[in-house]
Structure 1
């Protein structure tokens, strides 16, 4: 069994976690990486091997990926970015016909995650509160504005006065006007959730976001708090969800009121903290999809109050001629 990390980019820690866990059970197993520009991808350089794929909007992307997987005996594909999820979800059967499992949720669930307005509606249907959404001609300041299909904090705005609003904000149909949840009053958490093949919640690790860079947590700490019981009650089953689901929440510092912000049907950039704390998603994935083992609840296996301070590291490639 070999594994592929797609759109690998700089996901070095995630790739190394899969390498470590795979080699425990299959010593000669390989973790490959794929990227549209693998020569300049740190994760591709750290992988056991790598290959180039077309851009996601290329109609040959799926067939190229399948052919490369067959050539390298890859039987498990782990996607890492939002823009590839729907394409892979809609083609899961094509991969299965070739003996390849893609670790991606069902298309209907991916749709709920990719559309932030629908995400808010889904949270509410599950009993999770959300920030109020305003009409663009009837709003209250301060505002938080974000795109309906955004990622990595691109095109987000905190608006505290009318003078900060522009025609771009009003005329761009993709931008949502939302109640601003002040960081002075709320803590922000990313939760790594693990769902088994039956879409049942098996683990929750809340990570408090202390510092964020380029939309990804740079400093964070694991917190066993009210979020765990709240999510066990509200999100114990999410139809179509499998593997790692990354969810963001705000929690009021005094009342502990919880607000659902986002759902992402993939590994988040800060997942390495959960892994190092003991929430071993790569191991559980191998147990479920390789050993066909039923996974027990894993809510208490991770270390509380583990602080992560990330820093830049280097991957050196000798003889590069660009």
Structure 2
């Protein structure tokens, strides 16, 4: 599949991988103020991808992976799909299951702020901005952008012919990162970078990818990322939006969150799933372990078995919290094996 998840310290989104130019296309507002972002998908480990194209006018951004992927080719339609064509929107946010919705093309060229959009009825609860819109044959006909302001049942998608034109204009830079000016719509490349930080065509303010620096966390977030780093993980790859991090320790999946209103920092290790039907012996084991452990506790949510750690932010420091988080990481990697092998839990 060509679906990618995208995350920054500020937001999460979804993206579509284009094998030909070896780029991920997503929304500019998702990656704004980030030089690199976390991307991932099923079967591909999370990695940092560089932001190499910013387009605030069309709300598009292009990301480049460290190496091309081995994936199926993707046909991008050069003409607009006819009204009534069946289409499917497919996208995924970090921490969520992949979502898809089937619908039909309602309009070919709905003008909004001067941009002609496809209007379609394929909505998976929301528009899943940045996701691909495909025909029944798997041809990409659009990039989903936003809800239709005139109807909650429809979405607006940037049509594939326009995407191809934007790609062609970007590729004229021969690999140089670039940005489109919101005022005059001209693209400026890094090789033509003006020293003033303004568009050389109209003198409007222009942000090129090289002008953006990666975020440096502060306060409690900085402490959490230092704990993650000292524990042997890359905090940049762990970022999953505001005040949220995700870590893999062995076979366990661990989510670290900072709840500013309550001051709680939580570490939740999602270990495995309850067997079907649930096992009384497994619940007895969890209760016995809860009585024995001091810093950690078991709980269940739906069918997930979770091992949790709670710390108030006023007590949070690398010296005090690191041993607790290391203990959580260590125990999470051990407990999931016990629950699966001895009590029939499922991966």
Q: Which structure shows the higher helix fraction? A: 1
The TM-score bracket by the shorter chain reads: under 0.3
TM-score, normalised to structure 2's length? Answer: 0.24
> Could you say which structure has the greater relative contact order, defined with CA pairs below 8 angstroms and 6 or more residues apart?
1
TM-score, normalised to structure 1's length? Answer: 0.25
Q: Which structure shows the higher strand fraction? A: 2
